[in-house]
Structure 1
Amino acid sequence: MKKTFFILIVFLLIIASGYSFYHFKTYTDMPALAKLEYKGMNLVAPIKELKNATFDELKAYHINSISLIPYAFVDVDNASIHYNNKRQWWGERTEGIIASNQLAHDYKMTVMLKPHLWVNHNFYTGNLDFSTDTEWKKWETDYEKYILDFAQLAQKENIELFCFGTELGNAVAKRPEYWFQLIHKIKKIYTGKLTYAANWDDFDKVPFWNQLDYIGIDAYFPLSDATTPAVADLNKAWQQHILKMEKLQAKTKKKIIFTEFGYRNSDQAAKEPWTENQNSINNLAQANAYESLFQSLTKKDWFAGGFAWKWYADEYHKEEKNSVDYTPQDKPALETIRKWYQ
C-alpha cells in the first residue's frame, strides 16, 4: 500500500511539473554525443609572459586543453630551419613552453605541443619542396633536430600529446621513409600520445597513421559559398567530409582529433576557411559555422575533439574590436563553444 501511494505521488509530481512520459521517452531516445577528450584551444604565444588571467578565462569557457606552438623558421634558399631565436616571442621559445605547460597543468588542463614551421607570408608549408636530394637531406636533418629537441622537452615536462608536424603534405608524399624513421626516433624519446596535423585535403594520403595514437586533421573543410550560411545547410555539406573521415577511421581504428579548426568572423566564413580574403564583419557566419561543426561531429564516437584556432594570450586582439580574425574571443561564437564544451 505504501509503495503504491509513493508511486502515485511521484506520478502526480511529474504531471505537476509539466512533464509527460512522452518527454522522458524523447529524452532517453536522444542520440548520445561523443565524449570530447580535447575541448581545446590553440594558444597564440604570449609576447613576454603568460598570466593566470588567461587560464581563468579559458576555464570559464570549459576549455580543458591547450596547444602550445614553438615556431621554427625555414630558410628555403639554404634548406635550413632556425628556432629558439631570442627575437621570437617568449611563448614560442623553450623557456616559454616550459612555463606555459606548467601553468596549464596547475589549472588541470592537458597540453598538446605542436611545432609549426613558418616560411614566409602566403607560402603554404604543404608546398615545401627542394630540387635536389642533398637539399632535402639538409632540411630533414634540421627538422629532425627541431622535432627531437621538443620531443625530449615534451617527455621531460609530461606533456600529454605531441604533434610532430603540421601540414607538410608534399614532404610526406615525396619522402615517406624519412617520416617513418622520424616517428621511430620520437617514440624512443617520448612516451605520451602522438599525432600529426594533416591538412583537410590530404589527410587520407598520410601513410603512417597506424604508427600514431590519433589521426590529426587541420579541419578547414570548404562547406558553403553563402555570405551567412545556415546551420542546416552546413550540416548537409559536412556529410561528404565525414564519409571520407569514417572510411579512414574504419581502416585504421584510430580516433580523429581536429588539431586545428576555426572560422573568421567574416562573410563566407565557411567557403574557404583557410583563406583571409573577406574583411566584412559577419559574426553570425562564424557562430553558425562553429555550431554546425559541433552538431555534425559530436555525434561520432570516433571524434575525440580538437583545438580551435585561436586564442590570444595577450590582449592586443582587443585593440581593434571591429576587426575580422579567427579568434572567437569577444564574439558570439565563443558562447557557442562554451555551450558545446560544457
Structure 2
Amino acid sequence: MKKKLLVLLLLFILIISGYAFYSNKDTDDIAKIPIKTAVRNLAMEYKGMNLVAPIKELKNSTLESLKENQVNAISLIPYAFVNIDDASVNYNNDRQWWGEKTEGIIASNKMAHEYKMTVMLKPHLWVNHDFYTGNLDFATVKEWEHWEADYEKYILEFAKLAEEQKIELFCFGTELGNSVAKRPEYWNQLIHKIKKIYTGKLTYAANWDDFDKVPFWDQLDYIGIDGYFPLSNAEDPSVEDLNASWKKHIDKMDLVQKKFNKKILFTEFGYRNSNHAAEEPWTETKNEINNLAQANAYESLFQSMTQKDWFVGGFAWKWYADDYHKKSKNNIDYTPQEKPALETIKRWYQ
C-alpha cells in the first residue's frame, strides 16, 4: 500500500513539473515568470526614463518615485529652438523651463547621481512652423553652414558640460535624418570635436525609419534608436500579435548591429494609452483611452528586444517631474505614470 502511494505521489510530481515546464514556454505568460525575466534583464544596462524637465526645480520625490519603479537611468534634455527662417539655433532662453537650461541640467544631474542613477544628456530641437526635425532642410549652402555653426556651438557647450559634470552618456543629436544624409562631412567633423572634449559614452538618436542609413555608427559607443516602430493597426492588439510584428524590425536591427559591431540603445521608446497605441507610436491623433493597449505594447517590446544580447535597454518616453500632467481631461499621454503600463515596466526593470 505504501509502495502504491509512493508511486502515485511520484506521478503527481511529474505531472505538475511537466505542466510548469510547458507553461513557462507560453509567451503570453512570460511576464509572470520572475526568474526568466531577471535573467533577460541582465542585458538591460539602461532601465531608463526620459525626464520631462521640471519647470522650477527637481524634487527628491520625483527621483524617489523613479527608484521605486526600478528606474536606474534618466535622460536630461536641454532643448534648443531652431528658426528655419534665419537658420539659427537658440538655447538657454529666459522663457525656458529651469530643467531645460544649463543651471537645471547641472543640478538635476547632481541629484540623479546622489540617487545612484546613470544620466544621459540628450539635446533636442524644436523647429518653428511645426516642422519635424528629420525634415530640416535649407535651400543654400550658406544657410546650412550658418545653422551648422550654431548647432555645433550648442552641442560642444553641452559636451563640455557633460564632461565636467561626469555625465555618463552623451547623445549629440536627435532625429536629424535629412541633415545626416545631405551633410555627412559635417557630422564626421562634429563627432571628432566632441571626442576631444567628452570622454564618456557617445551615441546619436536616429529615428526608427532611418537608423540603417546613419554612416557614422562605427565612431560611436552605441547605435541609438528612437524605437517608435509601427507594429499593428489593430485597436487593441495582443502581446502575441505584437511579438510577431517585432520580428521584421529586429531582423533589420540585427543586420545593422552586425555591420558595425555595436550594441543597440533605445534612446527613446514608448506608447500612448490609447486605441491603436502600436500603429504609429510617434503620432498623437488617437483619443480613446486604452490602458491595456499601452501595457501590451510595452510588454511586447520587452519580450521581443530582451531576446537579443546586443540590446542594452533604453529610455522610455516619458516621465513628468512636475504634476501638471495630472490636470489633463482625458489623461491620454505617453507617460506610464499612474497607469497599468508602469507595473509592466517596473516588472521588467526589476
TM-score relative to the length of structure 1: 0.92
Task: Give the distance between the partners of 1:249 and 1:213, measured in 2 at CA.
Answer: 12
Q: State the 1:86 CA deviation.
A: 1.2
Percent identical: 73
Query: Secondary structure, in 3 states, of the residue corresponding to 2:209?
Result: coil
Q: Name the residue aligned to 2:4.
A: none
Corresponding residue of 1:245: 253
Q: Which of 207, 231, 242 is the aligned partner of 2:239?
A: 231
- Provide, for residues 274-300 of structure 1, a one-character-per-residue CA deviation record: whole Å limited to 9, x for no partner: 011111111111111000000000111
Match of 1:203 among 194, 198, 211: 211
1:159 aligns with 2:151: no
Deviation of 1:193 after TM superposition, in Å, equals: 0.1
Match of 1:116 among 102, 113, 124: 124
CA distance in 1, matches of 2:343, 2:207: 27
Query: Which digits, 9 at most, give the CA deviation of each residue in 1:15-41, with x for residues without a partner?
Result: 99x975986899899695252100000
Deviates further, 122-131 or 179-188: 122-131
The one-letter code of the counterpart of 2:74 is I
Shift of 1:121: 6.0
Q: CA offsets per residue over residues 215-241 of structure 1, 9 Å max, x none?
A: 000000000000011110000000000
Per-residue deviation, 1:189: 0.1
Task: Report the counterpart of residue 63 of structure 1 in structure 2.
Answer: 71
Q: Which runs of 5+ in 1 are unaligned?
A: 1-11
Total equivalences in the alignment: 328
1:175 is displaced (CA, Å) by 0.1
Question: Residue type matched to 1:301 in 2?
Answer: D
Q: Deviations over 1:255-290 (max 9, x none)?
A: 000000000111100000001111111111111100
Q: CA offset at residue 319 of structure 1?
A: 1.3
Q: C-alpha deviations, 1:74-113, integer Å up to 9, x for none?
A: 0101000000011100000000000000000000000000
Distance 1:302 1:146 in 2: 31
Aligned residue in 1 for 2:230: 222
For 2:330, the equivalent position in structure 1 comes to 322
Matched, 1:54 2:62: yes
Q: Gaps (5+ residues) in structure 2?
A: 1-8, 26-34
8 A Cα contact 2:83 2:128, kept in partner: no
Give 1:122 shift.
Answer: 3.6
Is it true that 1:149 corresponds to 2:157 in the alignment?
yes
Residue number in structure 2 paired with 1:139: 147
Structure 1 residue 40 corresponds to structure 2 residue 44:
no
CA distance in 2, matches of 1:94, 1:323: 31
Contact residue 49 and residue 71 of structure 2 kept, 8 A = yes
Whichever residue aligns with residue 95 of structure 2, its letter is: R
Letter of the structure 1 residue corresponding to residue 264 of structure 2: I
Q: How big is each residue's C-alpha offset from its partner over 1:28-81, in whole Å with a ceiling of 9 and x where there is no partner? A: 996952521000000000000000000010001000000000000001010000
